Structure 1
Amino acid sequence: MPQKQKPRRSWLELKQAGNERFKTGQYGEATGLYCDAIKELEKSNEKNPEDLAILYSNRAASYLKEGNCAECVKDCNMSLELYPFNVKSLLRRAAASEALERYRQAYVDYKTALQIDCNIAAAHDGTNRMSKALTEADGPSWREKLPPIPTVPLSIREKLTQQTTNNTPKQNGSREVKKKAPSDKNIKKAQAQKEEGNALVKKGEYRKAIERYSQSLKNNPTEVTTYTNRALCYLSVKQYRDAVRDCDDALMIDSSNIKALYRRAQAHKELQNPKTCVDDLNNLLKVDPKNTAALKLLQEVQKKK
């Protein structure tokens, strides 16, 4: 008697089976099942770009776990072509690029993910690691050598943030932090106000500049340089506690920001907090070991201790 052929599994069944293998650490088998799921979905009449993107992203996760970073990057590229700005694909490609020592590409992907959700700890940590690695490789001007960081359109940011929020379980006792992404209109308005503030700083009109920067931050509270610029103004008018607060906000967004660390150190020096000042300078020097201003200030503070 001829053997009965096993019924062919649908792409959804294959995907589910792949997910189960992945959860139990059977990454090789998971990869094979995702390969079969992709083939089945490609053949089916219900082919949907988003479904296909998720399968590529899942297979990328398996490749990453197996240490096959080059294939992981390829699958993430496919996934992001089908479903642009998918956070999981961005983070997986960033991790694979980091392992392949493609630090610039990794930095760009981590920063792009943070545009979608500024509370992703893995993206913040990755950004910090890449900042340090690129500073060591390219020196203080490493940002000039970066490929352009894509701007995530507002409509996509809102959609993906909502999906991320819905898929992320809330931790007991933790305060949920929500930051609404500024609209493109508000970003442009904020930029113009920031430039007005910069022009006032050049004229030495620090209090007027503070007003402009404050207006700019109302329209776009995610712009690091506006906080550090306003902190400079607060230092100039001897409002040191306000300078510290602005640097704190800047460092919440970019924890290795050199200007924020330096200006906060200056403020702590004036507030007679030498230990905190030294801590900030030491953290700055980890990022930029040859920063002459930081080295000079560190010497000054240590002499007085």
Structure 2
Amino acid sequence: MIKNYKNALVDLDKSLKIKSNNPFALNIRGIVHQKINNFEKSLSDFNELLKLNPNNVFVLNNCGVIYRTMHKYQQSLSDINKALKIEPNNAYTLSNRGTTYRMMKKYENAFSDLNRSLKIDPNNAIALSNRGITYKMINKYEEALSDLNLSLIIEPNDTFTLSYRIEIYLMINRHDEAYLDLNNLLKINPYNIFALNNRGEIHRLKCKYKEALLDLNKSLQLKLCNSFSLNSRGATYRVINRYEDALLDLNESLKINPNNLFALSNRGATYLTMNKYEEALLDLDKSLKIEPNNVFSLINRGATYRIMYRYKDALSDLDRLIKLKQNNALALSKRGEIYRLMNKYDDALSDLNESLKIEPNSAFALSNRGQLIEC
């Protein structure tokens, strides 16, 4: 496609050398430059068009889009406002301005324009998509999904809208629906890194490790320095006992971002499994400075302290976990074990009983309660 654009530009350049003010050629060349992200050149062509016809609403809208893409929001508004003075009820232009307001985090203004646009044209897929994204930005996920669903009925293969619906499904833990959308997105574009990453992560969460590695390996072939893929693949390697591979990925991720919470906590857990307790504590301590109530880090640091016979420190982490979630069966059973090791048998029995009320078939809790009989 890029090659076709380059060929098109060769022809358009020749055409405009012959007749420099050819509106058709200027317009097409401006659009081609815009598609291949040559924004300055695109603006140059569109500005020439506006000298020929200052009231060209299509060109003013395109300039607004380009300025927005360049994060020049005031210039974007300036051109879109000019277009709306010419055609106040243009649904596309209203939607366009609403999008710029959304990018500026002026959500009330965005809703005002997008609602007006949809009154004029209720089936405007772009306006529906952008209103859905605006709802997402203010955490109104059901309203967001309603708009995005309607937009995708009109334009089923719109990868932009599909990606945002996937993001929302993931945020609200509707992984099965996200998975279906990710499959559709990869049918449209098999090389979509966002889709490969997130489908790989869903496979990992569902313990489908081979499938996870297939997606994450492909993603990393497309983009080597991809911290999301490195994190997810590192966590996958950890679970399937490929600890050296896990460390390679997590180390690479932490070169990109030394404060990546996911990478730190998973590297800490990997070191714990490899019996490298001091290294584990360094990573887990750092992760808990970033997010003090991170459940994964707390449970692993507690386990590290237990192995190092630092029972009071282990209790401190487990107490915090149980305060965060009283019905945490794993934390209760782990604390019960610590109490047993400290010879606090009544406290141990109390925690293990509570844990077994929540998970009656927990082998760990049953084993620890069984050992209390001997005490």
Scaled by the length of structure 2, what TM-score is found? Answer: 0.34
Higher RCO (CA < 8 A, seq sep 6+): 1
Scaled by the length of structure 1, what TM-score is found? Answer: 0.41
